[in-house]
Every structure is written in C-alpha cells, then in structure tokens.
C-alpha cells in the first residue's frame, strides 16, 4: 500500500516503482531521517499539535526502529520509494495508527532537504578530521627536510634551488584553503529547512526555531520556497571537494614523476605500491594514479548537479533526487583518497642525494650568479647577459658554473672574483633567500611554525 495511494485508482507499474525509487541509495540517510523525525515530533507534542502521549509513542518507536536498522534486522522495500516513506511505513507496522501522525505539518520536500543537510554536516566533520591528518603529515615531513635541497621547476624545467620542505609547504597552503572551504560549506549547510512544508509552510503552529535549536542548527531557512529548493550547500561541497581533489591530483602527479627512474627523488613504500602481472621488475605508483584519476569523477559530480539544478522552476522538482548519488560519490571518494594519500606520503622514502644532484645540474644557480654581478654594481639586465654567455659556454663544453675556472669567468667579465663560488653554492642560493615565504631554512621554519599553530 502506497502512503500516497488514496488518489490513485490503479497500481503503479513495476517499471515506475523501479525508476522512481531512491531507496537503493538514500537508505544511508536512515539515521538523519529518524533524528529529524524525532525532533519534529517532539516539537509537535510541545506545541500541542499532537498529544504528548502520541509524541512519546512515536519517538519510542523511532528509537527502537533505529536500533533494529543498526543491527541489520531491517530490509527496505523499493515499492515504498525512498527512505522517508520506508521508515514511516515500518513505523506504522511497528506501533500502529499513532505513527500516521508523524508526518503532520511536514512534507517529504522539507524532510529530504533536512536529511541531506544533516548528512552533509556530519560528513564535513569527518572530512575535516581526515584533511587535518594529511596537513599534520605534510608538516611533519617538512620539518625533516628544511635542509633537503632540490630543484624547483617552472615549465617542468629546472629553475632555482629550493628545499623539499618549501615545496611541501606549498601543498599545506592549498590544503589550508580547502579546510576553510569546508568550514564555509558547513556554515551554509547549517540552517534548518524543516517547517517549509511542501513549499508554503503549514497552518499548524510549528516552532521552527525550537527544532533548529534541538538539531543544533545555526538558524532556519528564512524562506520556505528556498528551504525546499536550495541545493547550494551540496554544490558548495562538490566544488570544495573538486578543488581538494585537484590539489591531491597535482601532488599525485609529482609523486608519480618523482618515483620514476628518471627523477628518483622518492621511493614509495611497498605497502603503498603495486606490481605488474607481466613485468617482474615493476613497482607502480597506482595509488597516486588512482587519486589523480578519481579527480575526474569528482569534477563530474559537480558538473552533473550544476546541470541538474540549472533551469529548475521553484520549488521542489523530482530532478533534485539526483543530488544524492553525486554528493555521496564525491564524499565517498574523498573519504577513500585522503587517508591512503596520507599514508602513502608518510611512508615514502625521500632520496635526498638524488634531489641534490638534480639541483646541481641544470644551472639552477644562474639567477644567483647574475645577482652576484648586480651586487658588484652591474645592472641586472647586463648581468643576465653575462651569465647567459657563461651558461652557453658551459653547455657547449659540458661543464657547470661551479666547475668553471676563475680565469674563464674573468675572461667574460673582469669583475668576477674568488667569492663567486661561495655566491653560487646551492646552500647559499637557498639560505640567502630569507624573504618571508621563501625557501631558506629560516623562512620555511617560520612558516612551519605558524602552520602548526594554525592547525591547533
Ligand atoms: N526521494 C525524494 C528525493 O530524494 C524525496 C522527496 C520527494 N518528494 C516528492 N514530492 N516526490 O528528492
């Protein structure tokens, strides 16, 4: 028997039931649905819309149903369409007719909006904990590598020497912004839609503020039409998670490059790598590749829901049932990616010597050589030209700026002196960059400290 069957002269087709139903995926909202109903029914009792005895009976029934669902004793029914009607039908069969009063002054439209908001709130808390663990791991790793010199790149060409800590802390900043976006999304989610009814509230004297308070919301959705039509909070989360995946994907891309034989800057732990079924020598960075790959589905979920919402007239439309799978998929994906990514970087081995060797080739100290001339009085543009000539000389004679004898330097410009070698040593290049935000041990250590303080 359908809960809305009264107006119908005929059974729905099986295909209709199957097509229309969302229970296969919205059953994960059972807890939010029950908690929301308990708050609603408690308010109905307090407002004398139903009797206190009826309110208590329904609340007791809902609590016992919650226990049984949690034990795994309940199977849901596709004919009952969604989690809201499944729970109502189960409650009626459990405690009888009094359960039919539960839906007084409520619609599934404000009920589903409530459930999704409660669910999103809970998941944001979990995601924040996971992201925080990743950020802590980045900080711990950075602390160990404030002196680990590596080449910094632009255009994937060796550019200037930096430290591994400096590079890692760039990701910390990205994750910090992601964290703030999660907090922003939580704030936008944290308003109570219940009481909006189907779209135009109700004639019963509902106390929406009391329900908001009992469910720990920051306030109520101020307009009932918006209350049932708004999925911005889902989109905020989908965008936040897309950007977080973009950051994880860029980090993954570097891990994949760095673990290649060509770079060999890191070695992934065996526990977080995989082999090949044919090539016995292979050790593959599958985890990083999958994180990079899964970024596509998370972007897709955002585009999908944006497209679903585009052009929907106010207020509720069934199209909006499509919000949940997109939202759940992105949340599930991040809940898989974040912990394994954290473990992967926590356990990887950093090959300091290879990083240093890479920084020593490719003229990453050429800017510093030019700056040396500037300090001796040359204009930067002229210094650039002089060092350019020296680099060309080194390239054609297969040598480096460090190895070039002083006579060669002086042949190109008489101003060069013995102190050039000190000025272009990688250690000098890194540690003289004391500007805030830069790679020197001093600057990065200060950043690590402020980052750790922020995380507390
Ligand atoms: N399963 C529906 C959803 O997910 C619940 C709301 C249905 N409301 C309605 N009037 N058909 O959006």
For residue 84, how far is its CA from the centre of ligand 1 (angstroms)?
9
Residue of the nearest CA to atom 1 in ligand 1? 82
For residue 108, how far is its CA from the centre of ligand 1 (angstroms)?
6
Asked if 349 and 386 sit in the same domain, the reply is no
Give residues with Cβ within 8 angstroms of 357, minimum separation 6: none
| Position 3 confidence tier, pLDDT thresholds 50, 70, 90 | confident
DSSP string, 89-101: HHHHHHH-GGGGG
Give residues with Cβ within 8 angstroms of 185, minimum separation 6: 120, 124, 233, 236, 237, 240
Residue 157 has what pLDDT?
93
What whole-number distance in Å separates Cα of residue 251 and Cα of residue 173? Answer: 13
Does 152 map to a domain? no
Asked if 223 and 281 sit in the same domain, the reply is yes
What one-character DSSP code corresponds to residue 284? Answer: B
Pocket of ligand 1 (CB under 6 A): 22, 26, 82, 108-109, 112, 316, 318, 320-321
CB 123 within 8 A of CB 331: yes
Does 389 map to a domain? yes
Q: Which atom of ligand 1 is nearest to the CA of 198?
A: 10
**Percent of the chain whose pLDDT exceeds 70:** 100
The pLDDT of residue 6 is above 90: no
What domain count does the chain have?
3
Asked if 240 and 366 sit in the same domain, the reply is no
Cα diameter, the chain? 102
Query: Tens digit of pLDDT for each residue in 195-227?
Result: 999 999 999 999 999 999 999 999 999 999 999
Is the torsion defined by CA of 313, 318, 319, 322 positive or negative?
Answer: positive
Average pLDDT over residues 370-396: 95
Residue of the nearest CA to atom 2 in ligand 1? 321
Does 157 map to a domain? no
| Position 2 confidence tier, pLDDT thresholds 50, 70, 90 | confident
Catalytic residues: 155, 276
Q: Which atom of ligand 1 is nearest to the CA of 82?
A: 1
If one residue of 2, 7, 36, 108 were mutated to test the ligand 1 pocket, choosing by the most ligand atoms within 8 A of its CB, it would be 108
Given the DSSP bridges, would you call strands 191-192 and 219-220 parallel, antiparallel or unpaired? parallel
Residue of the nearest CA to atom 11 in ligand 1? 318
Does 155 map to a domain? no
Q: Which atom of ligand 1 is nearest to the CA of 22?
A: 1
How long, in residues, is the chain?
Answer: 456
| Position 291 confidence tier, pLDDT thresholds 50, 70, 90 | very high
What whole-number distance in Å separates Cα of residue 340 and Cα of residue 344? Answer: 6
Does 125 map to a domain? yes
For residue 450, how far is its CA from the centre of ligand 1 (angstroms)?
47
Query: Residue 11: which domain range?
Result: 5-104
Give residues with Cβ within 8 angstroms of 189, minimum separation 6: 117, 120, 121, 124, 233, 236, 237
CB 125 within 8 A of CB 189: no
For residue 24, how far is its CA from the centre of ligand 1 (angstroms)?
14
Average pLDDT over residues 286-299: 98
If one residue of 119, 309, 314, 321 were mutated to test the ligand 1 pocket, choosing by the most ligand atoms within 8 A of its CB, it would be 321
For residue 207, how far is its CA from the centre of ligand 1 (angstroms)?
23
> Over the chain, what is the mean pLDDT?
96
CB 387 within 8 A of CB 373: yes
The CATH number that applies at residue 415 is 1.10.40.30
Asked if 272 and 318 sit in the same domain, the reply is yes
If one residue of 318, 322, 323 were mutated to test the ligand 1 pocket, choosing by the most ligand atoms within 8 A of its CB, it would be 318
| Position 335 confidence tier, pLDDT thresholds 50, 70, 90 | very high
Residue 281 has what pLDDT?
86
What whole-number distance in Å separates Cα of residue 215 and Cα of residue 36? Answer: 8
Average pLDDT over residues 227-246: 98
Residue of the nearest CA to atom 12 in ligand 1? 321
The pLDDT of residue 1 is above 80: no
Asked if 95 and 125 sit in the same domain, the reply is no
Asked if 353 and 412 sit in the same domain, the reply is no
Asked if 274 and 396 sit in the same domain, the reply is no
CA 216, distance to chain mean position in Å, is 24
For residue 438, how far is its CA from the centre of ligand 1 (angstroms)?
53
Asked if 97 and 120 sit in the same domain, the reply is no
Whole-structure pTM over 0.90, yes or no?
Answer: yes
Asked if 276 and 419 sit in the same domain, the reply is no
């Amino acid at each position: 028997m359908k809960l809305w069957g009264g107006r119908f002269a005929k059974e729905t087709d099986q295909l209709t039931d199957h097509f229309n139903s969302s229970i296969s995926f919205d059953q994960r909202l059972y807890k939010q649905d029950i908690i929301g109903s308990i708050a609603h029914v408690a308010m109905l009792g307090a407002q004398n819309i139903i009797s206190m005895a009826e309110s208590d009976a329904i609340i007791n029934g809902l609590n016992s149903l919650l226990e049984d669902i949690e034990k795994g004793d309940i199977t849901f029914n596709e004919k009952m369409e969604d989690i809201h009607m499944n729970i109502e039908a189960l409650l009626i069969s459990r405690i009888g007719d009094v359960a039919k009063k539960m839906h007084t002054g409520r619609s599934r439209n404000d009920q589903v909006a409530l459930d999704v908001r409660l669910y999103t709130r809970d998941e944001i808390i979990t995601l924040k904990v996971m992201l925080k663990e990743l950020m802590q791991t980045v900080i711990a790793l950075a602390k160990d590598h404030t002196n680990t010199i590596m080449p910094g790149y632009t255009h994937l060409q060796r550019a200037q020497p930096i430290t591994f800590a400096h590079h890692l802390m760039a990701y910390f900043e990205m994750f910090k912004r992601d964290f703030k976006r999660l907090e922003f999304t939580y704030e936008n989610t944290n308003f109570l839609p219940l009481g909006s009814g189907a779209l135009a509230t109700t004639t019963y004297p509902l106390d929406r503020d009391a329900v908001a308070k009992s469910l720990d919301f920051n306030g109520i959705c101020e307009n009932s039409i918006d209350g049932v039509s708004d999925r911005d909070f889902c989109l905020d989360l989908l965008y936040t998670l897309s950007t977080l995946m973009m950051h994880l994907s860029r980090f993954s891309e570097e891990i994949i490059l760095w673990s290649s034989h060509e770079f060999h800057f890191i070695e992934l732990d065996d526990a977080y790598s995989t082999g090949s079924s044919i090539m016995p020598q292979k050790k593959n960075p599958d985890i990083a590749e999958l994180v990079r790959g899964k970024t596509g589905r998370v972007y897709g979920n955002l585009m999908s829901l944006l497209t679903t919402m585009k052009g929907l007239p106010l207020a509720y439309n069934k199209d909006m049932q499509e919000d949940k799978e997109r939202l759940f998929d992105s949340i599930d994906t991040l809940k898989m990616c974040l912990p394994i990514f954290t473990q992967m970087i926590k356990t990887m081995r950093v090959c300091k010597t290879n990083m240093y060797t890479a920084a020593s080739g490719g003229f990453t100290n050429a800017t510093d050589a030019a700056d040396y001339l500037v300090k001796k009085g040359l204009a930067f543009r002229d210094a650039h030209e002089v060092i350019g000539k020296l680099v060309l000389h080194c390239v054609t004679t297969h040598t480096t700026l460090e190895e070039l004898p002083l006579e060669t330097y002086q042949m190109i410009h008489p101003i060069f002196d013995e102190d050039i070698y000190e000025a272009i040593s990688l250690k000098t290049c890194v540690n003289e960059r004391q500007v805030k935000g830069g790679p020197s041990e001093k600057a990065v250590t200060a950043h690590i400290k402020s980052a750790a303080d922020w995380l507390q």
